[in-house]
Structure 1
Amino acid sequence: MWTEDDEKGILYPHEDALVIKAKVAGTELQRILVDTGSSVDILFKSALNDMGISDLKLERTNTSLKGFGGGRLTPMGVIELPITVGTKPFERTMMLDFVVVEERNPYQMILGRPFMRISQCVMSTHYLALKYRINGVVGVVKGDQRMARSCYATAAKETLQVTSLDSRGDSKNGRQELVEKLNEVVVSRNDPSRVVKVGSELGEAIKGELVKCLRSHADIFAWSHEDMPGIDRGVACHKLAIKKGARPVRQKRRCFNQEMYEAINTEVEKLLKAGFIREARYPEWISNVVLVKKANGKWRMCVDFTDLNKACPKDSFPLPKIDQLVDSTAG
């Protein structure tokens, strides 16, 4: 049974994975992911090396795994090892068959449904813990939320690096090249400046149907701030989860040149007119705007939410650092 005491030490709200530590063949592993979506218990080759176990101990297998990068992966083999979870006097030791794979991963091991069945444990992603019965009492394995976030950040960083390398390989300016050239199509008969782009290699029949569809639904496009009236608060409302005890920060006013001031005033007037923003007479938080030069020479106005981000629980799905500057414009 889960109680409020099980919430102690956990930062809420969260969407973190359950990462635990356990002793495997006498070696303590601290980055073990518990994943009920995995049909096998997986041990990564790097962890096998850390335990000092030779590849010769592996038994060959003809099965293959699916899910690593969307493709199929051939395991190196299978090995049976003892694993001990929990702490004394409620430790539980069992023998598990691990599928060994040579794959780069921030985790050392993935415990799947076989582990859940053999240990007869109950998992809670809310409380980030496992519970199991042993000798008539309940044993608990608490997850390491900090380690879970560290592993996720490592995986996200590696993904971004691979994407960046792929982009640099495709284009000198760091952007991927277009698969095909695009042609502009006017979708508004009243305003020829309202255009969208479609692929130039589309067949005439398909292109005709697509253009017809776009023109018949031209009213769904937002060409200016006034075309985006927003959502009534009775339908949806967003609230920032500020940490308890966080002190509001009023950033010192930044100075800009005349060109930047004019761009800021223009953008603020647009947002005020559209009802996107309103004047706050007694603000607890004050964040400066930040201007970023776009490729067409115009300015994009963003907001520096660095201090506000620090006062909020860490995002379980971190984005690149540039996303700390929240864009206030469309496009």
Structure 2
Amino acid sequence: MPPITFTDDDFKGVDPSQDDQMVISVDIDNFTIMKTLVDQGSSVDILYWKTFKALRIPIEEMMPYNDHAVSFSRERVGTKGYIELYTTFGLDKASKTLRIRYLVIDANTSYNILLGRSSLNKLGAIVSTPHLAMKFPSLSGNILTIHVDQKIARECYAESLRVEPTQQKVTNSYLPRCKMPGRGRSPRRHAQSAEHAVAMADLDPREVEPRLTAKDELRHVPFIDEERYTSIGTTMAVADAELIHQALKRNVDLFAWMATDVPVVNPKIITHCLSVYKEARSVAQKKRNHAEEKRLATRVEAEKLLKVGFIREA
């Protein structure tokens, strides 16, 4: 294998002071699979069930797998089977295609695919997390490079913190055997028309939690006027409701209904810091034309923020 080296020029992200994960894109059957996690700590390559269904692969092509995957916490995770797919790394001529065996797992995750050591070694890839880049030799001997989309990598990490684990039994469902065992799906053999070649930008299987709602009917309890009020359940005893109402009124200064009610927040309480790349070139947003109603509403909200000093004119 030819020597592979990394320099500062290999970093194509926006924030060099980072510890972001390696999240790239690969191509499978004319689909561009974004949010593909490169995990050198995994011994297997994983295709998540949500992604499998989005690829519209017939389930008959999946082979049974009579074992379980073991997670980092040593938890045994049930699998649906395995499938071999031709996976392309890179773009156009600067690309390399491998036949990769994926375990298909049904799990809530912010990623679509997880690439482990097996595929990375087969690819001959060298990963550099400081440069957010991965290099590997092509069939002709040239060194190809894949860069991480730093924005997507951070979005995936933030979303992974909110994903609830899948509650599943550690059992294997029976899968019918493929008519041609071990065959990979060739992009040429399964070519699709241009309108069906979609980019799967968001296949996160996380469920949106419903907001909590009151079980009983509520009645408005004003503090200062009819626009500044709270709500108390109608099933509460009158004496208890009045006790709570009076306690809230005595501490009405703790509540805020608009930005002008909170002119200053002590930085010791909360501070919001933006991760800004200072050397980046400033780009003006394209002017947007809004309807008169939206334009007036935007002006009113902007004036509120200007009044309390939350924003200022450039």
User: TM-score interval w.r.t. the shorter chain?
Assistant: 0.5 to 0.7
Deviations 1:258-314 (A, max 9, x none): x99xxxxxxxxxxxxxxxxxxxxxxxxxx8417xxxxxxxxxxx33322xx12557x
Q: 1:289 aligns with which of 240, 248, 266?
A: 266
* Residue 317 (structure 1) aligns with: none
Task: Give the 3-state SS of the residue equivalent to 2:20 in structure 1.
Answer: coil
* Residue 148 (structure 2) aligns with: 143
* 2:76 partner letter: R
* Structure with greater proportional helix content: 1
TM-score under structure 1 length normalisation: 0.50
Q: How far apart, CA to CA, are the structure 1 residues paired with 2:275 and 2:6?
A: 29
State whether structure 2 residue 37 is matched by structure 1 residue 60. Answer: no
Q: How far apart, CA to CA, are the structure 1 residues paired with 2:161 and 2:74?
A: 16
Identity rate of aligned residues, in percent?
27
State whether structure 2 residue 274 is matched by structure 1 residue 310. Answer: yes
State whether structure 2 residue 109 is matched by structure 1 residue 101. Answer: no
Q: How far apart, CA to CA, are the structure 1 residues paired with 2:275 and 2:55?
A: 40
Q: How far apart, CA to CA, are the structure 1 residues paired with 2:66 and 2:56?
A: 25
Cα pair 1:74 1:101 within 8 Å, conserved: yes
Cα pair 2:46 2:105 within 8 Å, conserved: yes
Q: CA RMSD in A?
A: 2.7
Q: How far apart, CA to CA, are the structure 2 residues paired with 1:72 and 1:147?
A: 29
Cα pair 2:15 2:276 within 8 Å, conserved: no
Q: 2:40 aligns with which of 25, 36, 55?
A: 36
CA drift at 1:25:
2.3
Task: Give the 3-state SS of the residue equivalent to 2:121 in structure 1.
Answer: helix
| Worse-superposed segment, 41-50 or 8-17 | 8-17
Cα pair 1:35 1:111 within 8 Å, conserved: yes
Q: 1:24 aligns with which of 10, 28, 45?
A: 28
CA drift at 1:28:
0.9
TM-score under structure 2 length normalisation: 0.53
CA drift at 1:136:
2.2
Gaps of 5+ in 2: 166-205, 213-250, 255-263, 278-314
* Residue 111 (structure 1) aligns with: 115
Listed as ranges, the matches of 1:180-195 within 5 Å are none
CA drift at 1:150:
0.6
Higher RCO, 1 or 2 (CA under 8 Å, sep at least 6)? Answer: 2
* 1:289 partner letter: N
Listed as ranges, the matches of 1:312-327 within 5 Å are none
68 and 50 in structure 1: CA distance in 2 versus 1, 3 angstrom threshold: farther
Q: How far apart, CA to CA, are the structure 2 residues paired with 1:58 and 1:68?
A: 25
Cα pair 1:10 1:127 within 8 Å, conserved: no
148 and 311 in structure 1: CA distance in 2 versus 1, 3 angstrom threshold: closer
Deviations 1:233-279 (A, max 9, x none): xxxxxxxxxxxxxxxxxxxxxxxx9x99xxxxxxxxxxxxxxxxxxx
* 1:156 partner letter: L
Listed as ranges, the matches of 1:273-284 within 5 Å are none
Gaps of 5+ in 1: 169-256, 261-286, 291-301, 314-331
CA drift at 1:111:
0.3
* Residue 216 (structure 2) aligns with: none
Task: Give the 3-state SS of the residue equivalent to 2:159 in structure 1.
Answer: helix
Deviations 1:40-59 (A, max 9, x none): 00000111111101222111
State whether structure 2 residue 96 is matched by structure 1 residue 92. Answer: yes
51 and 159 in structure 1: CA distance in 2 versus 1, 3 angstrom threshold: closer
